[in-house]
Structure 1
Amino acid sequence: MTEFTGQKNLSINNIEYYLPQKVVTNDDLSAENPEWDMARALKNTGVYRRHIASDNETAFDLGLAACNKLLDGLEQMPTIDAIIFCTQSPDHIIPSNAFLLHKSLKLSQDCLAFDYNLACSGYVYGLAIAEGLLATKRAKNILLVTADTYSKYIYEQDRSARLLFGDGASASLLTSGSDDLCVCDILCGTSGQYYDKFIIPVGGLRQPKTQDTDKVLMDPWGNPKSACHINMDGMGIMAFVNSEIPKHVKQLLKRNNLEVSDISLFVFHQASRSVLDALARFIGIKAERMYINIENIGNTVSSSIPIALKEAMEQKRISKGNKIVICGFGAGLSWASALIEV
């Protein structure tokens, strides 16, 4: 565990997000798959509608739209000297999306840029990376971008994944020394032994695509997919979340001398309604202190936390003096939480 310094080197100055125009509702999926039990699916996932990228729309496109929205809304354009781009659906194997974004935004050659590959814990990990860049004075104004198009990795008749995931992107301006959302502490965790709980087995250099890898098979829960698509052990991930995340969140609170009751709002990765309800129950969080927005956008992977934070601010759910906990968890397996003061 990284030693806690208690310093406030990182502030979230602003957040914007972008969702694709195409919307797929449960009614659309029911018409396409009349055998699916949509009432049960809605109860478990909490998702009624999700935004889906078009065939020619990529994670870079979504990320660029979020960045333009963010920068256009600023009263004064800062000098961006770092781009950190979190995605698991890059436009190219080489180069990274961050370089495409650097070109499109016409940023200085003095700006550093790179991608990193994380899923639902990606936003909090990005904050940890940015904190280091700011503390060592490698950067002053950082664009943290999250974007994914998981829909392109899902077999169209895979009920478990198609009902759950939506596409989207976020852009956050990160600085130090401001009075915005001050990140006070970050705690990260990893369990690589469970890497295969959420995996696309084929398509990398370990197991390249062949004619045989396109064969569609049924998983143990009756969902069809090939090895080229998302393969998700939903029950295994649920067990991991119930076991690890409550302890993790309480550890973050304990080392900051806080109780659950001291936190004004908990913003978890919007994994599914059943996961969020379980976390509230195991940690002891009152309903009014949980932010949930999964119904209308689905699970947007690394973008779910910043989108939820932005919506919570717009809805006046966050006020001066509040303490907020954000927590992401997912593929890897990977998890991370942060304490924020307003």
Structure 2
Amino acid sequence: MTTIESIAYAFPARCLTNQELKQTYPDWDFERLEKRAGVFTRHVAAETETALDLAVRACEQLAQQDRLHADEIDALIFCTQSPDHIMPPNSCILHGALELNPNVLAFDITLACSGYIYGLQLADSLIRSGVAERVLLATADTYTRYIHPGDRATRSLFGDGGAVSIIVESQNARGIRDIRCGTAGTQYKKFIIPAGGMRMPRSASSARETIDHSGNVRTEEHIKMDGLGVLSFFNATVPCSVKETLTQNGLSIDEVDLFVFHQASQVVLDTLRTAMGIPPGKMVYDLAEVGNLVSASIPVALSRAFERGQAKPGQLALLCGFGVGLSWGTALVDL
């Protein structure tokens, strides 16, 4: 059995508040946006600041706390959809920045909101197979770079941030009990940036602005999210994934101490909590000050839950991420 030994996180210095957005967009219905998104401020990366920078700063925090030793890491996984370059991968650059040993396995994965659970699955598999003993899992994104300023649906929701976790073999038979992941590739268009890859290179055409029926301004080079479609899909999928994971482990909702879902939005979390009958006190909400942090959402929410005393050592937690792909993953973890 493996366990999450440590987590650290980092945010950009700049904060963008709803009050600032109101000054720029006085016609937006912020009362409705705040109620549905649950976000009042979010961190926004500076022009020269990247997801890699955030991961490096999070690693520096762990090192300062004497919880990260470069010579002990033997695998590095970096999950991001906003890498520094098309090539090389962020994992290799982070490897160099941390001066890790040359025999360290390092690679990127490009998932988004399900990325932390997928990363845990990979780290767990590497350790169980004997390939690695200590895995550094970095999850960081600067999604605000992909958002059109006039798209209130995404502008009001997403923030930038990064987290790093160290996964090791458990020494006390407590840790990651189970992980289950899933994919619905036929639904990929529900959450997509159409242009910028090899299928649709950027062009004058892809940069042309359009306005949808709700008044959101976008181009083919920005995030296009079918909010209702995504919500409907995961309202049907996530409860089933959670129920399957609990059933396969002989557990009920009542026997889980803490639920840390991807912090998608207030309405998503409220809907899932109600659908599954989760007591409010067991549900982690961490949107108001940071927004939707994509791949960093779950580790940041879990770490901040520890900071405010909602999460405690010895608890049984259920972690669940879902998003781009469409993809999802659920993990049972002893804290």
TM-score by length of 2: 0.97
Q: Could you tell me how far apart the structure 2 residues matched to 1:50 and 1:319 are?
A: 26
Residue 41 of structure 2 is aligned to residue 49 of structure 1: yes
Q: Could you tell me how far apart the structure 2 residues matched to 1:75 and 1:337 are?
A: 26
SS, match of residue 320 in structure 2? strand
Residues 86-111 of structure 1: CA deviation (Å, up to 9, x unaligned): 00000000100001101110111011
Aligned match for 2:286, one of 290, 293, 296: 293
Q: Could you tell me how far apart the structure 2 residues matched to 1:180 and 1:17 are?
A: 27
Corresponding residue number in structure 1 for 2:331 = 338
Corresponding residue number in structure 2 for 1:95 = 88
Comparing 68-77 and 153-162, the one that deviates more: 68-77
Residues 262-304 of structure 1: CA deviation (Å, up to 9, x unaligned): 0101000000000000000000001000010100000000101
Going from structure 1 to structure 2, the CA distance change for 1:219 and 1:179 (only over 3 Å counts) comes to farther
Q: Could you tell me how far apart the structure 2 residues matched to 1:321 and 1:257 are?
A: 18
CA contact (8 A) 1:12 1:180 kept: no
SS, match of residue 272 in structure 2? helix
Aligned match for 2:237, one of 244, 249, 270: 244
SS, match of residue 306 in structure 1? helix
Residues 102-140 of structure 1: CA deviation (Å, up to 9, x unaligned): 111011101110100000000000000001100111111
- % of aligned pairs identical? 44
Residue 118 of structure 2 is aligned to residue 121 of structure 1: no
Residue 283 of structure 2 is aligned to residue 278 of structure 1: no
| Equivalent residue pairs, number | 334
Corresponding residue number in structure 2 for 1:60 = 52
CA contact (8 A) 1:323 1:339 kept: yes
Aligned match for 1:223, one of 213, 216, 239: 216
SS, match of residue 194 in structure 2? coil
CA contact (8 A) 2:95 2:106 kept: yes
- Specify the code of the residue in structure 1 equivalent to 2:227: G
- Specify the code of the residue in structure 2 equivalent to 1:141: R
Matches within 5 A, 1:79-94: 79-94=72-87
Q: Could you tell me how far apart the structure 2 residues matched to 1:71 and 1:80 are?
A: 12
- Specify the code of the residue in structure 2 equivalent to 1:82: A
CA contact (8 A) 2:91 2:107 kept: yes
Segments ≥4 residues shifted beyond 4 Å: none
Unmatched tracts of structure 1, length 5 or more: 1-7
1:226 Cα offset (Å): 0.2
Q: Could you tell me how far apart the structure 2 residues matched to 1:316 and 1:192 are?
A: 38
CA contact (8 A) 2:10 2:163 kept: yes
Matches within 5 A, 1:1-342: 8=1, 10-74=2-66, 77=69, 79-179=72-172, 182-342=175-335
1:323 Cα offset (Å): 1.0
SS, match of residue 298 in structure 1? coil
Residues 18-63 of structure 1: CA deviation (Å, up to 9, x unaligned): 0110000000000011111111100000000000000000111111
Going from structure 1 to structure 2, the CA distance change for 1:229 and 1:71 (only over 3 Å counts) comes to same
- Specify the code of the residue in structure 2 equivalent to 1:68: E
1:314 Cα offset (Å): 1.9
TM-score by length of 1: 0.95
Comparing 172-181 and 15-24, the one that deviates more: 172-181
Q: Could you tell me how far apart the structure 2 residues matched to 1:178 and 1:23 are?
A: 40
Q: Could you tell me how far apart the structure 2 residues matched to 1:228 and 1:179 are?
A: 48
CA contact (8 A) 1:242 1:278 kept: yes
Residues 141-183 of structure 1: CA deviation (Å, up to 9, x unaligned): 1110001000000001110010000000000011002359711
Residues 180-236 of structure 1: CA deviation (Å, up to 9, x unaligned): 971100011110010000000000001111111100001243211000000000000
Unmatched tracts of structure 2, length 5 or more: none
CA contact (8 A) 2:59 2:68 kept: no
- Specify the code of the residue in structure 2 equivalent to 1:16: A
Going from structure 1 to structure 2, the CA distance change for 1:174 and 1:225 (only over 3 Å counts) comes to same
CA contact (8 A) 1:13 1:178 kept: no
